[in-house]
Amino acid sequence: MRLTTNTPAPAFKGELLGGGRLSLTDLRGRPVLLKFYRFVECPICNLHLRELVLRHDEVVAAGLTTVVLFHSPLSRAERKQGYDLPFQAIADPKKRIFHSYGVEESLGGMFARRVARDYARAMRSGFYSKPFGYHGGIKGHPADFIIDGDGIIKHAHYGQSYADSLGVDAVISLAGELGIAPRSATSGQFEVHDHAAAAAHERS
């Protein structure tokens, strides 16, 4: 079931790449960009993730703390993505968080012009999908949520295809429309990294 705006975001607690756990409660007081990707080998997801990594300072400056999720096992996600993402990433192989946020699945999600276009771009950029790498299946759609500092969903985007994920320009525009206070990229980066360091000491 899809979530709607101006309703409380479902609580979650997930395993972070690099160690530790992160909950929605840990993020209280910060506007959050919560991005649901697919499996970590997904070429289109990695194409979109690269933009988010390269332009992360702009997202921070827009006032948002980014958290991304994959439905791949933690060990595989860590091997693929490493530990140097500029934001926190959660592995959710049983899709508990995916399901609580109503993230959708369909085979029809692959039949869109944008999927073909972005898949070709991903191939040209060197993002390939390995055989048997589809942990959690290939039917997942991306989804994006902006959650305010009180844990209320202010924007929910459910992708209509495998490539329908909010880009950085759309995220920044939404942050402005929602009245999220901009901040300096430098101060935002320190907040994210300090929190990641603290969370890494927490063990389930």
What CATH number corresponds to the domain at position 35? 3.40.30.10
The alpha carbon of residue 24 and the mean position of all alpha carbons in its chain are separated, in whole angstroms, by 14
* Residue at 6 is within a domain: no
The count of structural domains within the chain is 1
CA distance 113 to 102: 24
pLDDT 10s digits, 3-31: 999 999 999 999 999 999 999 999 999 99
Phi, psi of 184 (to 5 degrees): -70, 145
The pTM assigned to this predicted structure is: 0.85
User: What local confidence, expressed as pLDDT, does residue 76 receive?
Assistant: 80
Average pLDDT per 10 consecutive residues for the chain, totaling 204 residues: 97 95 97 95 90 96 97 84 84 96 90 85 80 72 97 97 95 96 58 42 36
User: What local confidence, expressed as pLDDT, does residue 203 receive?
Assistant: 31
The boundaries of the domain holding residue 189 are: 13-199
By the 8 A CB rule, do 89 and 17 touch? Answer: yes
* Residue at 3 is within a domain: no
* Residue at 87 is within a domain: yes
* Residue at 138 is within a domain: yes
* Residue at 107 is within a domain: yes
